[in-house]
Every structure is written in structure tokens, then in C-alpha cells.
A = this chain, B = another copy of it.
């Protein structure tokens, strides 16, 4: 409890979302306070405070006994110059962990509890393990729908909120899991060409072979500042930007950074994550795409319906006009899987190329049509025809080119990775199943999204007839090692099933 000061020093180590403090083992404060490695300390200077985990250093070239080292992000978060005198104390555990412990004990939490938790998380008072405890305690069926509403509201209020100063700000979001499913890149130009505001932000791939931001980045820049985005949307009515720069619902980002490596995701947390982000982005009208299929995130129709009700319940209470579309998630959408291959498909659909993938086109038109029907001037049921008209007439392509130029155009060269391997049918028959997981995994191992030209290019889809030894898809890679790994993976399990006509997996939904 004694109080003393140390000289602040920046340590050139990047510890991502975790603040790390480096204390020399000979430091008098370290010895007196009984800190140990991985203790949490509070660093204070001029009224600024920061929580950090202690690493103990035995090398004076990293930190001297009279210094406190901070990792890069921690140093940046403290907003103080090197050499400043800082005070160090034991960190009190975050008060809201009491609520987490009550949740672990089976209690129901209220709005205040979730507010306190989200404030503490956004101020990085939670360690990774405290966030893991929160996620597990609130995972699965541990939150009822009112608690889910409270959580979403608290996450939303933890960060900044955009205001587009229009009464109708459209958005769409897919819950993910379907390779090649880049409908946003068609929906945005169609809807913007209709004149509706659709300032779309997307994520990069985390575990998939490409995210919308990765695919869009082939065509144009996507890392826009908030003011650039504002300008572009004002001119073009739409954009396709990477969502990583804005500070929208920061609690969501922090929770995801724990959820992903743990491989846990609950429907409740998905709903809270999506809706808090969309509301923070200023969306007023939202279409949620839930693909259903045996290798999709949602496998059964009853799950999709339960998820739809959750979205509707929370969305209605947070004043967003929300509609859910349950879509066909039996197989990848389009032909290419990987940034360049997907961008090629998009451009083919936009310029009405005869070999454009029909499923990608139809799904995008359905989604765009539903969004266009948010327009009070459009009669129910007319959206699809309007969307098709915009696409067929080339107006969507022109709008896309405008958006690309506004964001900063890059390339229209879609040549795939130079190493190429065709995966062929082992028998004659009909494609009955395609495994979303396996095709995504092969594309990822081949190098996507880091190697933008790597990936998988599908030649056959469900229902297509094939001869023995006819190619089903091609793997593209840029590097030999990736190529060998991906080829071996595909030889071991191609992800395709060939059978008879009557074994073809039927869609659970029809348009």
C-alpha cells in the first residue's frame, strides 16, 4: 500500500488488446508491494489510470529498476509521454465481476448489471479470463431474452453511435458460415442506385477464407476514415468499407477477441453482437440473412426460427426495423472462394456476363428487393423487380464503379493463383452434397485470404451431373507449401458427395 513513483518507458512489444506492464525485478515497488508476474496493477498519472498485467523483467536494457515499461497499446492508451512519473498500485478487481459471479450462480441480471459489466469491459478492466468467465456464464441458454435485450443495449451504449441524419438508413447482415457469400457487394450498388442510403461496413475474414472487406479490397481501398466514409456516402448513397476503424460497440470487439479463440458462440451473443454493431452504425432498417443447411451455422429450420424470434424481439425493443430472411445454406454461394475469385464473380454479375453465377445473382436480388421495399413509396412485392431492373440495366454496375472510384480503385485483374490443381469426381453421378466447412478450409489452407489470388473455384454445384474424373473444382495457390497442404486436404476429403438424382440434398427454403 505504500505509494511511490516510477519513470514511464515505452517497450516496443505489441500485446494487442492486452495491456502489459514491465517491472524490473530489482524495482523497489515490485518488491515492496508483493506484485508477482501476471498480477494486475493500476498505473496512474495526472488523473489518467490504466490497468495492466505485470511481466517481471530481469534485463536492464528493457526496463531499469526505476522505470515502468508499458507495451505499445498500453503506452498509447495512457496518453502520456515517456519519462513521466507514474504511480503504481494493486488493481482492484472490477466491481462488476460480482454480477458475473451472481450469473455463474444462476441468478438473473438486470440492466444496471449489464451496464456496469460493459463499462468495465470497455475500460479494459476485464482480463481475458474474466471475459471468458462472462462469456461462458452468459452463453448458451443462460440468458433469457430480456437479459439479452439488456446486454445488447449495454453493448450499444459502451461506444460511439453514428447518426446519418436520415430517416431510413438501410443495412444487411449475414450471420456467416457460407463460403463465397458476397451478396453485400451486389446489394449495396443496387440499393444505392435506387437512391436509398446504405453505408455498409464489413469485417475481414477471421476464420473464413474471405470477408466482404477482403474481397472488396481487391477492387478498391476499404480502410476509410469516418470523414471519408461520410463524404463517399453523401455522394454515392452507399459504400463498402472495412468496419474496423470506427469505435462502434467496442465491447463487442473485445468479447469477440476472446470468443473466437475459445470457439464458443451462442445464439444470444450473436444477436447482441450483430444488433449492437448495426445500431451503433446508425442503421434504421436491417435485413438479417440466416442460411440454413447441414454444414451451415444453423442446421435446422427450428433453430433458424428461434433465432429469428430473438432478433425480432431485441430489434423491436431497440427501435430498428428488422426483417429476417432464412436462406438456402446447403452449399457455397457463387463459384469463387477467396478474395480475387469472389471479386471476379461479383463483377460478372454486375456486368451481366453470361457465365455469372446465377445463385449469387438471385440471392442478392432477393435481399436487395426486400431492402428496397423498406422504401415507403414502394408497393409490397415490387422490390425484386426493381432490383432486377437496376442490375439488368447496368445501373448497378455504374454505381459500383462510382463507389470503387470514390473509395480509391485498385485492380480489375482477376487472374487466380498460378499453382492450380483440379479435384475430380471419383465416379459418375450427380453432386448431392457440398460441405461448406471443407471447401472453406481448403481455400484457407491454399492461402486465402492472406494470398488474395489463392482459393477454390467451383466448377460443379449441387444437382450438376458429372462424369468420372471430371473436375469438380480447382484449387489455386501462390506458394508451393500452401499448395501441397491444400491438395492433400482435398485428396483426403474433397467436400463433395456424388450420388444419384434422388439423393440430391433439397433446399429447406425456396424463394
Residues of A within 8 A of B (CB): 1-3, 11-18, 20, 22, 25, 32, 34, 36-38, 40, 55-59, 61-62, 71-72, 93, 97, 101, 104-106, 127-133, 135-137, 139-141, 257-258, 261-264, 445, 450, 479, 481-482, 485
Contact B481 A2 (CB under 8 A): yes
Contact A263 B93 (CB under 8 A): yes
**CB of A488 to closest CB in B, whole Å:** 10
A11 neighbours in B (Cβ, 8 Å): 59
Residue from B1, B12, B136, B445 within 8 A of A133 (CB atoms): B136
Complex Cα–Cα for A105 and B136 (A) = 10
A40 neighbours in B (Cβ, 8 Å): 261
Q: How many copies does the complex hold?
A: 2
A61 neighbours in B (Cβ, 8 Å): 61
Known contacts A13-B22, A55-B13, A482-B1, A97 near B129 by CB under 8 Å: no
Contact A16 B2 (CB under 8 A): no
Contact A106 B485 (CB under 8 A): no
Complex Cα–Cα for A38 and B12 (A) = 15
Residue from B57, B132, B139 within 8 A of A130 (CB atoms): B132
**CB of A16 to closest CB in B, whole Å:** 4
Known contacts A129-B128, A264-B101, A37 near B14 by CB under 8 Å: yes
Contact A262 B15 (CB under 8 A): no
Contact A485 B72 (CB under 8 A): no
Contact B129 A131 (CB under 8 A): yes
Complex Cα–Cα for A481 and B28 (A) = 15
A133 neighbours in B (Cβ, 8 Å): 132-133, 135-136, 262, 264
> What 9 pairs between A and B have smallest CB-CB spacing?
A16-B37, A12-B59, A129-B132, A14-B56, A132-B132, A12-B58, A136-B136, A2-B481, A128-B129
Complex Cα–Cα for A36 and B25 (A) = 28
Contact B485 A1 (CB under 8 A): yes
User: Residue of B at shortest CB range from A205?
Assistant: B34
A25 neighbours in B (Cβ, 8 Å): 14
Question: Please, could you name 27 A-B residue pairs with CB atoms under 8 Å apart, sorted by A?
Answer: A1-B481, A1-B482, A1-B485, A2-B482, A3-B481, A12-B59, A13-B57, A14-B56, A14-B57, A14-B58, A16-B37, A18-B38, A20-B55, A104-B136, A104-B264, A106-B140, A127-B261, A128-B128, A128-B129, A129-B131, A129-B262, A130-B132, A130-B262, A133-B133, A133-B136, A133-B262, A133-B264
